[in-house]
Amino acid sequence: MEYDPFSVPLTTWLQFLRYFLPPSGILLIGAGTGSGSFVQMLRLMHQSNVILVEADDAQYLHLKRNLKPEETWQVHNVLVSPHAETSTFYKAGNPSESGLIEPELLQNLWPNLKTIQKCCNLPTVSVEELLRSAEQTINWLFLDCLPAAKLLEQAGSMLEQIDLLVLRVLIDEDVSSVNGETQADVQARLNAQGFRLVITEQERHPALAHVLYVRDPAFMRTSGNMLQQELALAENERVTLIENLVKLENDVTAALEAWCTFEAISTERQIIIEQQVAIIENINEIVNRHNDSIAALELEKNILEQEKNELVERQKILENDLLSAEQCINQQNCRIGDGEIIIETLTEKIDDQTVKIEALNKENVIQREMLKQSDVDRSIAQQECDRQKSLMAELVENNKALNIVINERDTLFQSCIAEIDLLKKQNESLDSTYKALRLACNEPDGSDPKKLVAATHDDNIDDMIEDVSQFLSGKKITFVDVGSYVGDVFLKMYRTDKIKVREAHLYEPNPDSYEIIKKNIAACNTPSLHVYNFAISDEPGRKLFCAAKSMTKVMPVLIDTDKATNYFNSESYALNDLAEGYTDRRIDFLKIDVEGYELEVLRSADKLLINQDINIIYIEVGFNRSTHQQTYFGDIDSFLQNYGYRVYRIYDQVNEWIQASPFLRRCNVLYMSSGFIGVKL
């Protein structure tokens, strides 16, 4: 078979090229969690001068943890952008596609890709700034992110020191919706800089690829010859310039000597002029002060003359006033005598009037108090009347709105009742079939919860406990059961001698099942054992549930439980909030069986999943998209994989498959976090 050099992996090319283009320093932008092929290849090359850059906070934390103690690589949590100062960073549902490009613009590649968080106005750095700030000269550059062309535009003159480039690009221009992300965008620029394409390696998606460029030796030789010619021309120009410079220096020397002589004369003349100007200014200042003093004295003299004349006039007026006052005093003395007689008479009358006025005042006060009380009563009555009118109008409007709501609720209630009756009939049919199958298989009846606890094997719980015991053996674990039913899984976990349950939290909204759980676990001596009569959801609040034997299902609306049977309302809370009360705020084993609402429970624990504070998840899934009895397996697996969880084992439902149907309807899946089992993703 003929050897095809382009079938060699890109990492093998890099291993080969390091002998021809030895890396003095390596810069990798978009390092992710450190589990990618480029980081692993650099480890195999035993490179020491390596700089890793990752903008996503969560992936940066994984990257730091994945570095070995002996590795002296530099790791930076910064956003590299072609925009100055600040930019927006988009976190995608698939962390590998987080970056500067809005995930919705990449839906031509990934139809289900969406933005889960938008981080605005983040500080940024350019590729040029990273290259300049490096302690060692960077000559290998990896841009494992989009858009590569726009990022390269910001490299500036620092691109001249790069010998090897690896870029992530789109090779199918028909699916591109953002400028600066295709291979054509970078091809022309890199060719002009002397780079040549070595290999294009497609990713899992055929429209995406990594491309490897190196500097072309022929281009470098041609550039060297041109530089030598330019250097020779520059040398000739330099010699000519030196000769002209010598002549210019001689001319400048002569001009300087003449200028020095002229400047000395000008300086002496300027000094004399300044001295004369200073003398003139002093004389002018003295003259001005003398003129100001004369003007002030003249003004003061005029003021004194005016005041003297005014005093003479006032003296004459006072003398006349004094004569008039003496005459008035004599007249007043006569009048005072007459007045005293009149005053005595008036005093007697005033005393009589005072007595009458006091009596009238008392009567007036009484009348005023009566008027005030009447005004207050009238005002209160008017206000009460206005308030009654307002309340009556508001009551009419509320009655109208209430009638509309009641009509809508009655319609919805009737619809729910019809759907519930249909579910009851389906459930009765399934129960009959289920009992017939049990009788045919000589198994105990499932109607008794206590017998069911002792005979439950449809989940292969014993096999599951055997599998997880190799990871939990010797440890004291925290066990959480969401949808406990009658506590069968906990009891089997408690009774095994392979796992020690230190702390258990059982959640069951059905009040009948809740009472059975309390009886079933009464004899258990677990150090911290709790059972709760409420539900778990990502939307806390009061919810309606329908109970049908072993199944308790959430209904879409709240109804009057007094008028319907097998229905009850229960509060719900988020697992993130409840975990604050757990030991170490962690969960070692989480079991979920909530009849189609598994995703809501997982979303309520997103903070625990991000930090992988849940080690093992045992969850029921379905394999039929059209039913809502179980959550579709693909939805749960996609959700958990985003947080670093992978399937460890699948446990089929032995009582219905393959005996009941050749198609697997539902099963239980055991997930483990990558951090718990020590596997880097």
pLDDT by residue (tens digit) across 413-430? 676 667 666 766 666 666
Burial of residue 117, with CB atoms counted within 10 A of its CB: 0-12 exposed, 13-18 middle, 19 or more buried? exposed
What single-letter DSSP state applies at residue 5? G
Tell me the mean pLDDT in the region 83-106: 85
Q: What does the alpha-carbon distance between residue 181 and residue 173 come to, in Å, rounded to a whole number?
A: 9
Q: Is the peptide bond before 658 cis (omega within 30 degrees of 0)?
A: yes
Q: What is the mean pLDDT of the chain?
A: 82
Tell me the mean pLDDT in the region 631-643: 96
Q: What does the alpha-carbon distance between residue 304 and residue 118 come to, in Å, rounded to a whole number?
A: 87
Closest CA to 159 of 133, 185, 139: 139
Model pTM score:
0.38
**CB of 615 within 8 A of CB of 671?**
no
User: Other CB atoms closer than 10 Å to residue 107's CB: what's the count?
Assistant: 14
Q: What does the alpha-carbon distance between residue 352 and residue 424 come to, in Å, rounded to a whole number?
A: 102
Q: What is the DSSP string of 473-484?
A: TT-EEEEEEES-
User: Other CB atoms closer than 10 Å to residue 442's CB: what's the count?
Assistant: 6
Closest CA to 525 of 498, 499, 503: 503
Tell me the mean pLDDT in the region 104-121: 87
Fold assignment, 459-673: Rossmann fold (3.40.50)
Pairing of strands 79-80, 115-125: parallel
Predicted confidence (pLDDT) at residue 503 exceeds the cutoff of 60: yes
**CB of 141 within 8 A of CB of 167?**
no
Q: What does the alpha-carbon distance between residue 643 and residue 674 come to, in Å, rounded to a whole number?
A: 9
Closest CA to 576 of 624, 621, 608, 610: 608
Residue 488 CB contacts under 8 Å (≥ 6 apart), including other chains: 452, 453, 456, 461
Residues written for the chain: 681
Tell me the mean pLDDT in the region 112-118: 89
* Greatest C-alpha distance within the chain: 154
User: Other CB atoms closer than 10 Å to residue 129's CB: what's the count?
Assistant: 16
Confidence of residue 2 (pLDDT cuts 50, 70, 90): very low
- What order of strands is seen across the sheet that includes strand 79-80? 79-80, 115-125, 86-92
Q: Per the structure block, which two tokens stand in for 237?
A: 């120009």
Domain boundary assignment for the chain: 10-215, 459-673
Under CATH, to which class is 10-215 assigned?
A: alpha beta
pLDDT tens by residue, 144-199: 888 887 888 878 788 888 899 999 988 877 766 666 577 887 887 888 888 889 89
pLDDT (0 to 100) of residue 226 = 59
Predicted confidence (pLDDT) at residue 365 exceeds the cutoff of 60: yes
Q: What does the alpha-carbon distance between residue 416 and residue 444 come to, in Å, rounded to a whole number?
A: 34
Predicted confidence (pLDDT) at residue 671 exceeds the cutoff of 80: yes
Domains 10-215 and 459-673 share a fold: yes
Q: Which amino acid is it at 191?
A: N
